[in-house]
Structure 1
Amino acid sequence: MYTYGFFGPSYLLIIIGLVISLWASWYVNHNFKKYDEVPSHHGTSGADAARFILDNAGLQNVQIQRVSGKLTDNYNPTNKTLNLSESTYDSTSVAAIGVAAHECGHAIQDQTSYAPMRLRSALVPAVNLGSNFSIPIILLGVILGANQTLIQIGIWLFALVVLFQVVTLPVEFNASGRAVKILSSSTLVDSDEVPMVKQVLFAAALTYVAAVISTALQLLRLILIFGDNRN
């Protein structure tokens, strides 16, 4: 019966999640490409914009580094580094400045001990456990004759992944909000460029929303397949 569940009607949930994730990925890349072709009026690079924002926030200790890839930008609270991708670091586009400002928003969250960010960091060890072992534990439970204890443990571990992604949402939206507010009151971009920044950051935020929906659908599928002890 479990085998039927894997390939039965519940498999539609996986397909829906995949479609949502692919659309979100296309949407963020489409918007970044669109506004990456729009040079900022002041010609400020992503790296220079980040340095300006960090210094004004009293974060001179945060180092800015170039990393390979496209849209691989991130802030590392462990070593206090702002990592800007090749598509952001030297670019003077509106998109690059928006992405750099967003990552600065994370650095400021770290500086102010923003509660959701602290919670997300605290969840990392448990989430790593859940993402790596939830499915193997469920499958082990099936192999051992539908061992409901192992199956339920696996489902709860997978639920931690969903929880982590839910907690990530306010962290990302708040960082984007900080970025827009900073850029709106600075000389890094003009007022007519702010809506473009908002569009880029909104598209990026949708990828996190899509991740929550996709993973939640996978969790629902696991519950539908394995959640009934009578099965």
Structure 2
Amino acid sequence: MYGWYYDPTFILVFAGLILTLIASAGVKSTFARYSRVRCMSGYTGAQAAQEVLRISGIYDVRIERVAGELTDHYDPRAKVLRLSDSTYGSNSVAAVCVAAHECGHAIQHQKGYGPLVLRSTLVPAANIGSSLSWPIFVAGLIFSMRPLLMLGILMFGLAVIFQLVTLPVEFNASSRAIRILEGNGMLGESEITGAKKVLRAAAMTYVASLASSILQLLRLVILAGGNRRDD
């Protein structure tokens, strides 16, 4: 078994962390840049969300304000669109496109978009997998019990699958948002370019998170292989 004080596979964790930090810095930088660009239509994030929902024929989704920055999300169970302080009352290009993106999830929910339905179904398994995979895997290492090692890998794999399914959900929500913003004149041509940059940077955080989790899964497989050789 790998020594507790020297684990060469930790380089995979480090690589994943670097990817995540780069993506996070990228979205914060891009959002900050376009937060300083006022939307020519004058829409605030909340107003833009209301308009996108109206255009989409959705009238049963509430819009609420939530504390924080970039904490925007759509809650399908409560049918509530929650916009962060940095989005709700801001009339910037960044705020409008982020609000529209979250509306994209509400539209997906209304239309029964397959990947969103699958992701919602996977939530319980992914939560259990992400919280229990490492304790189970470490127990397998300590006691050299291969079934526990495999169970830990399987459970972590569920979390990775969840993140994989999340990618088309996020990309599709952004595509829906851009089509509505552009097709209904809510943003001008130059503003659409900025909106795409904001949403692309946000999408990269999900890509980086998935890459980091895949590297972590690879690490578990390597550690399990080393444990077998030491038996």
The answer to whether TM tops 0.5 is yes
What CA distance in whole angstroms lies between the structure 1 residues aligned with 2:224 and 2:140?
10
What runs of 5+ residues in structure 1 fail to find an aligned partner? none
Q: In the alignment, is the contact (CA less than 8 A) between 1:94 and 1:196 conserved in 2?
A: yes
Q: CA deviation at 1:24?
A: 0.2
Higher mean C-alpha displacement, 132-141 vs 94-103: 132-141
The code of the aligned residue for 1:221 comes to: R
* AA at the equivalent of 1:224: I
1:203 equivalent to 2:182? Answer: no
Q: Which residue does the alignment assign to 1:175?
A: 173
Q: Is the 8 A contact 2:141 2:224 kept in 1?
A: no
Assess if the C-alpha contact under 8 Å between 1:103 and 1:175 holds in 2.
yes
Name the stretch that deviates more: 78-87 or 9-18.
Answer: 9-18
Distance between the aligned counterparts of 2:57 and 2:173, measured in 1?
17
Residue of structure 1 equivalent to 2:44 = 45
Aligned residues: 229
TM-fit CA distance, 1:55: 1.3
Alignment match, 2:78: 79
Partner of 1:8: 7
Alignment deviations for residues 66-98 of structure 1 (CA, whole Å, 9 cap, x no partner): 000000000000010000000000000000000
1:151 aligns with 2:146: no
Deviation string 1:84-116 (CA, Å, 9 cap, x unpaired) is 000000000000000000000000000000000
Q: Which moved more, 1:188-197 or 1:71-80?
A: 188-197
Question: Which is further off, 31-40 or 52-61?
Answer: 52-61
Cα distance in structure 1, aligned partners of 2:52 and 2:31: 21
The amino acid that maps onto 1:117 is L
3-state SS, counterpart of residue 42 of structure 1: coil
Identical amino acids, percent of aligned pairs: 49
Partner of 2:102: 103
Shift in Å, 1:230: 3.0
The 2-side partners of 1:109 and 1:53 are apart by 13
Deviation at 1:58, TM superposition (A): 1.3
- 1:70 corresponds in structure 2 to 69
In the superposition, the TM-score normalised over structure 2's length comes to: 0.96
Q: Distance in 2 between matches of 1:15 and 1:140?
A: 23
How far apart, CA to CA, are the structure 1 residues paired with 2:187 and 2:34?
A: 13
Counterpart residue number, 1:121: 120
Distance 1:106 1:149 in 2: 39
Report if the CA contact (8 A) 2:63-2:82 is conserved: yes
Cα distance in structure 1, aligned partners of 2:60 and 2:149? 47
Tell me: CA distance 1:182–1:7, structure 2 relative to 1, closer, same or farther (3 Å): farther
CA RMSD of the aligned region, Å?
A: 1.1
- Distance in 2 (alpha carbons) for counterparts of 1:7 and 1:32: 40
How far off is 1:186 after superposition?
Answer: 1.3
In structure 2, what is the equivalent of residue 137 of structure 1? 136
Distance across 2 between alignment mates of 1:16 and 1:72: 26
Q: In the TM superposition, what is the alpha-carbon distance from 1:49 to its structure 2 partner? A: 0.4
Q: How many Å apart are 1:188 and its aligned residue?
A: 1.6
| 2:34 is the counterpart of 1:32 | no
2: CA distance, partners of 1:56 / 1:176:
16
Q: Any stretches of 5+ residues in structure 2 without a counterpart?
A: none
Q: Give the Å deviation of 1:199.
A: 0.3
Query: Does the CA-based 8 Å contact 2:45-2:88 persist in structure 1?
Result: yes
- Select between 214-223 and 182-191 the one with higher mean Cα deviation: 182-191
SS of 1:75 mapped into structure 2: strand
